[in-house]
């Protein structure tokens, strides 16, 4: 190559090195920005989770606990009555006061508790107005207590024809007027026993 072109080639290679270095610096800056922004946003988000000086509501707080920042322990609310069954699995993410002595939780849980409390009140009224099976509601009783109530309510039934079965038991589909099946789950009646 002629000598007059060599400096030009050196100039181009220096320019290429400078542009490559600038691109690498830009890439490193973008990567750092992507890593730092989430941490900065967390610093500003944490104070937003504090509602007031006495209560802290975390977005995904468990419906089973109430957090008191003035205490060293987490307060567990009383458990629900056994005959209510399990609370709803899918719940909203709000955090409100629940009825009774159940603390705080979601509005879904509040509605479920109110429904179960209303059912209990209805059951108490039914128990005081009707005293014998089949009018008496046996749901929520233990299997043995329900069997005794069925035998007391219908004197024509024989004890061997009143069966206590798991709620998911397979049974024959024949109809017999001298038989009563009592379906239980965890020892408690889950559906009103009927003749058949």
Q: pTM here? A: 0.38
**Is 195 among the domain residues?**
no
In a domain, 75, yes or no: yes
Residues 138 and 109 in one domain: no
Q: What is the pLDDT of residues 58-91, one digit of tens each?
A: 434 444 444 555 555 555 666 888 888 889 888 8
Domain assignment of residue 17, given as a range: 3-49
Same-domain pairing of 116 and 79: yes
Whether residue 194 lies inside any domain: the answer is no
Question: In 3-state terms, the chain is what percent helix, strand and coil (to 5)?
Answer: 45, 15, 40
Confirm whether 32 is domain-assigned.
yes
pLDDT tens-digit readout, 119-174 = 888 877 665 555 788 888 888 889 999 999 999 888 888 999 999 999 899 999 89
Helices (H), 3-159: 6-45, 107-129, 143-153
Looking up residue 169, the CATH number of its domain turns out to be 3.30.10.10
Domain final residue pick, 49, 67, 85: 49
- Burial (CB count within 10 angstroms: exposed 0-12, middle 13-18, buried 19+), residue 183: buried
Residues 122 and 166 placed together within one structural domain of the fold: no
Residues 125, 60 share a domain: yes
| Claim to verify: residue 41 and residue 63 sit in the same structural domain | no
Say whether both 72 and 44 belong to one domain: no
CA distance 98 to 108: 10
At 52 the pLDDT is 43
Q: Which domain-ending residue is among 78, 104, 129?
A: 129
Q: Are residues 39 and 98 in the same domain?
A: no
Q: Which helix (H) or strand (E) holds 76?
A: strand 75-76
């Amino acid at each position: 190559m002629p000598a007059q072109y060599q400096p030009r080639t050196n100039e181009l290679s220096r320019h290429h090195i400078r542009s490559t270095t600038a691109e690498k610096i830009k890439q490193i800056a973008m990567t750092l920005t992507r890593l730092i922004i989430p941490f900065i946003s967390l610093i500003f988000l944490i104070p937003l989770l504090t509602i007031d000086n006495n209560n802290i509501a975390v977005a995904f707080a468990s419906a089973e606990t109430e957090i008191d920042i003035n205490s060293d322990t987490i307060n567990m609310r009383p458990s629900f009555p056994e005959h209510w069954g399990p609370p709803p699995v899918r719940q909203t993410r709000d955090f409100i006061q629940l009825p009774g002595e159940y603390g705080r939780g979601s509005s879904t849980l509040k509605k479920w508790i109110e429904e179960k409390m209303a059912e209990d009140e209805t059951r108490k009224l039914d128990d005081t107005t009707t005293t014998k099976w089949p009018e008496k509601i046996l749901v929520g009783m233990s299997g043995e207590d329900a069997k005794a109530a069925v035998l007391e309510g219908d004197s024509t039934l024989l004890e061997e024809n009143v069966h206590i079965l798991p709620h998911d038991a397979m049974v024959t589909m024949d109809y017999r007027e001298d038989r009563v099946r009592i379906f239980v789950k965890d020892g408690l009646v889950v559906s009103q026993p009927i003749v058949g």
